């Protein structure tokens, strides 16, 4: 017989007082605390007190054992959780007592101090604390198992579809239709995800009737494990959340819900599927309350007052949710928003950001998630990413994302305090520099532009000069100082007098001599030569060791510092070494890192020799609020770990050689220039290059264009690219 269909016990207060005196040795008055299917009394007289629970005739003794075992497990795992422990009766955790309808189980529990409260009585701090307590309770139960936990219980939200057979008890047709829509939504949206939800033994009914609080609203007691069951953790949380929202109105409903969720996720972060169904589970809990209430009130009219205690507040919330719509409620409670069409999103972008922030491709790519070398659109369409060098070890690499999330939960602050990740990152970066280079000092910032800007400040301070040399069509960043050495971004007619350019396709030694002379004509001496070791914006090339060594030598002869910009080519992209300057056998004065350093998380660095840094520090103060913050540093450390563990440099060398060789065999190609997986495919026609880029985009393959005339296909994928991905790219290129 089900505990919900079996009649509740019918013991009077006087009978319970007698039982307590005879069986428990506690005398005093008995006060009925109310219960849906059992009877629970507080018996007290002065200092002695006992919670006495008389079970429903339909109760399974194995379930009572489950309850006791769960409580004792929680008390062991997290002793600070205020659970009401069972107290032995004659050496056992349950006894029996005879009643007018038969033999009932008798149990005793600790009496905990506190009061019951309604959700609208709890302030913001109490709401967040309630969520934390609920999460801790779930965490304590994760390692617990009992065979009886697999029971079927109508209150378990897994059983929500069964409510359909009870819904006819709701007399009001309009309200019944609301419940039916909740059940329809559960069938369509929750049921397909249920098996993916984290599950374990849960309390099952952590509503405010089963919780005691102090004068501040903080939880002092967790009682009544009568609904303990194996179920989804997020469903258990939804039960408590629904209880806290009842009695609230207007915007306070969702504002309060988010505070509770914040508290819960401090200890038990919700997965995407859990966030997706949380609002529906709250609605399902409310639907269960009003449906079961209507059904049980028909069966047990004498207990109607207790049964229907939460109906009015539950109906108010159900009607509010129904009016707003399930998707809107889900968004309010943190579910991911369904993406709009790309046209609408583009217009929103233009309105809020303007048109200066450019979009790639005639038809913009709208992406919502990523993995490895793949980007995914809102409808699940998949794009092969052969363009992005930022996610160097692959989009959403689990090692990096977990490092970010883990550190975010622990701490994130500025770098004026001591923290291990920042120091460890600096140590790892200097260890990654070539032996004998003297590059032993790290300054951490947030982006490649900042790194190059700081390098310029250092160079001008140390040399006391103001001239710069860069390549013909270079790009080094967006700050005012660095935009001046980024000809790719220069507007027509702009040519700053303090910047001289060299043609990387010419004789670089002669080009450096000419550029230094050009600066002298403006009465300027050289402060720094900026070189992107992949010559990415110029069209991608590798001039060779002698040419690169000559540039360093000529820079030093002219009194300047050589800056190796590894923002695009660094972190193993050449397939020969971690850094392009290492491959080229040169030693720069400063190295700048950025884009791939955090696999998409903003972090960058300048690495130099101690004597150069100290000359800068002698007259300059340097601080970057977020540079090297613990989360950014953790991301950067994870990237270095992945490159080492997955042997990324070796793979890039193999895959880059394979792809460059296959590209060289294609028709209409003027030249293929490759540095590992930084590959430039020069075409004879700018128009043809544009056609191929857009044609590949239509086939959901992403590459770019580069070079002075934009006639060079830029293939620069995440370094998770393999031969299989190369074949996909090549197949689509051949088809065009």
Distance CA 188, CA 203 (A): 26
Residue 316 confidence (pLDDT) above 60: yes
Please state the three-class secondary structure of 615-662 as a single string.
HHHCCCCCCCCCCCCHHHHHHHHHHHHHHHHCCHHHHHHHHHHHHHHH
Residue range 565-576, pLDDT digits in tens: 999 999 999 999
DSSP reduced 3-state for 470: strand
CB 356, CB 349: distance < 8 Å: no
306 falls in which pLDDT band (50, 70, 90)? Answer: low
555 closest CA partner among 467, 618, 485, 430: 467
Dihedral angle sign, alpha carbons of residues 289, 290, 294, 295:
negative
Grade residue 49 by pLDDT with cuts at 50, 70 and 90.
Answer: confident
Rounded (5°) CA angle 137-142-145: 115
pLDDT tens per residue across span 135-163: 999 999 999 999 999 999 999 999 999 99
Reduce the DSSP state of residue 178 to 3 states and report it.
helix
State pLDDT tens for residues 204-236: 999 999 999 999 999 999 999 989 999 999 999
User: According to the model, what pLDDT value does residue 37 have?
Assistant: 78
- Tens-digit pLDDT profile for residues 495-553: 999 999 999 999 999 999 999 999 999 999 999 999 999 999 999 999 999 999 999 99
For 630-671, what is each residue's pLDDT tens digit? 999 999 999 999 999 999 999 999 999 999 999 999 988 999
The percent of residues above 90 in pLDDT, for the chain, comes to 81
- Cα–Cα distance measured from residue 180 to residue 50, given in angstroms and rounded to the nearest whole number: 43
| Helix residue spans in 300-393 (DSSP H) | 304-307, 311-324, 326-332, 342-353
* CB count in 10 Å sphere of residue 147: 10
Query: Can you tell me the distance from the alpha carbon of 736 to that of 456, in angstroms, rounded to the nearest whole number?
Result: 44
Q: How far apart are CA 569 and CA 581, in angstroms?
A: 10
Is the pLDDT at 300 greater than 90? The verdict is no
How does strand 382-385 pair with strand 701-702?
parallel
CATH of 13-65+83-109, one of 1.10.8, 3.30.200, 2.50.20, 2.40.50: 3.30.200
Report, at the CATH architecture level, how domain 398-645 is classified.
3-Layer(aba) Sandwich (3.40)
> Is residue 40 over pLDDT 80?
yes
Please count the residues of the chain: 736
Q: For the chain, what is the largest distance between any 2 Cα atoms, rounded to a whole number of angstroms? A: 111
Look at residues 247, 171, 237 and name the one whose alpha carbon lies nearest to residue 200: 237
Where are the domains positioned within the chain? Answer: 13-65+83-109, 119-332, 342-393+646-736, 398-645
pLDDT band of residue 101 (cuts 50, 70, 90) is: confident
Contact (CB, 8 A) for 170 and 292: no
d(CA 633, CA 447): 13
- Give residue 2's pLDDT band: very low, low, confident or very high (50, 70, 90): low
Running DSSP on this structure, what letter comes out for residue 472? T
The DSSP bridge pattern shows strands 102-109 and 561-565 to be unpaired
Secondary structure (H, E, C), 394-431: CECCHHHHHHHHHHHHHCCCCCCCCCHHHHHHHHHHHH
Distance CA 574, CA 534 (A): 8
Contacts 24+ apart (CB under 8 A), 333-338: 333/254, 333/257, 333/258, 333/261, 333/275, 333/278, 333/279, 333/282, 334/258, 334/261, 334/270, 334/275, 334/278, 335/275, 335/276, 335/278, 335/279, 336/272, 336/275, 336/276, 338/378
The pLDDT assigned to 35 comes to: 77
What is the rounded CA–CA span in Å between residue 603 and residue 442?
A: 13
Rounded distance between C-alpha atoms, residue 501 and residue 486, angstroms: 10
Question: Distances from the Cα of 633 to the Cαs of 428, 432, 450, 513, in angstroms?
Answer: 11, 15, 16, 40
Instruction: For residues 601-612, give the mean pLDDT.
Output: 97
Name the band, by pLDDT with cuts 50, 70 and 90, for residue 304. low
Least Cα distance to 112 among 206, 213, 39 occurs for 213
Compute the distance between CA of residue 482 and CA of residue 476 in angstroms, rounded to an integer: 6
- Compute the distance between CA of residue 67 and CA of residue 25 in angstroms, rounded to an integer: 24
Question: What is the structure's pLDDT at 228?
Answer: 96
How many Å apart are CA 517 and CA 511, to the nearest integer? 10
How many CA atoms lie less than 13 Å away from 514 in the CB half-sphere? 12
283 sits in which H/E element: helix 272-299
Band the pLDDT of 34: cuts 50, 70, 90.
confident
Nearest C-alpha neighbor of 705 from the set 729, 728, 686: 686
Confidence of residue 22 (pLDDT cuts 50, 70, 90): confident
- Give the pLDDT of residue 623: 86
Q: What is the CATH number of domain 119-332?
A: 3.90.1200.10
- Residue 4: predicted pLDDT: 64
Pair 687, 681: CB distance under 8 Å? no
Closest among 389, 364, 386, 365 to 374, alpha carbons compared: 386
Q: How confident is the model at residue 585 (pLDDT cuts 50, 70, 90)?
A: very high
What is residue 339's predicted lDDT score, i.e. its pLDDT?
81
Q: Is the pLDDT of residue 438 over 90?
A: yes
Write down the CATH number for the domain with range 342-393+646-736: 3.90.1150.10
Q: What is the DSSP letter of 489?
A: G
How would residue 3 be classed by pLDDT, with cut points 50, 70 and 90?
A: low
**Average confidence score pLDDT of the chain:** 93
Q: 5 falls in which pLDDT band (50, 70, 90)? A: low
């Amino acid at each position: 017989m089900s505990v919900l269909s079996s009649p509740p016990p019918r013991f009077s207060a006087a009978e319970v007082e007698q039982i307590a005196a005879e069986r428990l040795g506690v005398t005093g008055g008995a006060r009925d605390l109310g219960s849906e299917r059992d009877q629970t009394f507080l018996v007290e007289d002065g200092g002695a007190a006992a919670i006495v629970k008389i079970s429903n005739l339909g109760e399974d003794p194995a379930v009572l054992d489950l309850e006791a075992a769960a409580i004792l497990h929680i008390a062991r795992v997290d002793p600070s959780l205020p659970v009401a422990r069972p107290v032995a009766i004659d050496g056992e955790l349950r006894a029996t007592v005879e009643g007018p309808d038969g033999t009932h189980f008798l149990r005793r529990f600790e009496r905990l101090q506190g009061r019951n409260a309604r959700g609208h009585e709890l302030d913001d701090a109490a709401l967040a604390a309630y969520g934390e307590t609920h999460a801790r309770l779930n965490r304590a139960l994760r390692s617990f198992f009992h065979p009886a936990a697999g029971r079927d219980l109508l209150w378990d939200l897994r059983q929500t579809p069964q409510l359909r057979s009870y819904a006819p008890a709701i007399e009001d047709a309009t309200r019944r239709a609301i419940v039916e829509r909740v059940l329809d939504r559960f069938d369509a949206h929750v049921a397909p995800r249920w098996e993916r939800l984290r599950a374990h033994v849960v309390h099952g009914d952590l509503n405010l009737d089963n919780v005691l609080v102090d004068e501040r609203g903080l939880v002092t007691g967790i009682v009544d494990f009568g609904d303990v069951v194996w179920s989804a953790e997020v469903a258990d949380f939804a039960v408590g959340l629904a209880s806290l929202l009842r009695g609230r109105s207007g915007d306070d409903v969702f504002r309060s819900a988010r505070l509770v969720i914040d508290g819960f996720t401090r200890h038990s972060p919700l997965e995407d599927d859990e966030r997706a169904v949380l609002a529906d589970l709250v609605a399902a809990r409310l639907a269960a309350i009003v449906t079961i209430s209507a059904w049980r009130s028909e069966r047990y009219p004498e207990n109607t007052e207790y049964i229907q205690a939460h109906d009015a507040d539950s109906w108010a919330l159900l009607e509010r949710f129904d009016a707003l719509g399930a998707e809107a409620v889900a968004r309010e409670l943190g579910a991911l928003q369904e993406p709009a069409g790309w046209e609408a999103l583009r217009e929103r972008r233009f309105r809020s950001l303007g048109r200066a922030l450019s979009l790639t491709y005639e038809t913009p790519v709208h992406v919502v998630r990523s993995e490895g070398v793949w980007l995914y659109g809102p409808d699940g369409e998949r794009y092969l990413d052969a363009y992005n060098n930022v996610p160097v070890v692959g989009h959403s690499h689990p090692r990096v994302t977990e490092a970010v999330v883990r550190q975010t939960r622990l701490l994130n602050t500025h770098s004026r305090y001591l923290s291990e990740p920042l120091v460890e990152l600096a140590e790892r970066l200097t260890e990654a520099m070539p032996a004998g280079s003297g590059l032993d000092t790290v300054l951490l910032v947030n982006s490649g532009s900042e790194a190059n800007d700081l390098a310029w400040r250092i160079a001008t301070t140390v040399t006391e000069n103001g001239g710069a040399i860069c390549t013909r069509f270079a790009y080094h960043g967006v700050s005012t100082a660095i935009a001046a050495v980024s000809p790719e971004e220069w507007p027509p007619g702009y040519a700053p007098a303090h910047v001289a350019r060299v043609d990387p396709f010419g004789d670089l030694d002669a080009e450096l001599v000419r550029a230094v002379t050009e600066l002298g004509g403006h009465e300027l001496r050289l402060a720094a030569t900026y070189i992107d070791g992949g010559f990415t914006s110029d069209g991608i090339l590798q001039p060779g060791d002698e040419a690169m060594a000559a540039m360093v030598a000529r820079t030093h002869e002219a009194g300047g510092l050589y800056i190796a910009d590894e923002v695009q080519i660094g972190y193993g992209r050449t397939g020969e070494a971690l850094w392009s300057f290492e491959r080229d056998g040169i030693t720069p004065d400063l190295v700048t890192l950025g884009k791939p350093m955090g696999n998409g998380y903003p972090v960058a660095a300048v690495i130099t020799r101690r004597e150069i840094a100290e000359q800068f520090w002698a007259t300059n103060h340097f601080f970057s609020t977020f540079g090297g913050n613990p989360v950014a540093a953790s991301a950067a450390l994870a990237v270095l770990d992945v490159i080492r563990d997955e042997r990324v440099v070796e793979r890039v060398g193999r895959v880059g050689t394979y792809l460059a060789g296959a590209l060289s065999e294609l028709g209409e190609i003027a030249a293929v220039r490759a540095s590992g997986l930084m590959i430039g495919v020069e075409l004879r026609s700018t128009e043809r290059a544009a056609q191929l880029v857009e044609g590949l985009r239509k086939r959901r393959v992403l590459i770019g264009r580069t070079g002075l005339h934009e006639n060079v296909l830029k293939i620069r994928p995440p370094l998770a690219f393999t031969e299989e991905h190369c074949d996909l790219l090549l197949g689509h290129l051949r088809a065009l």
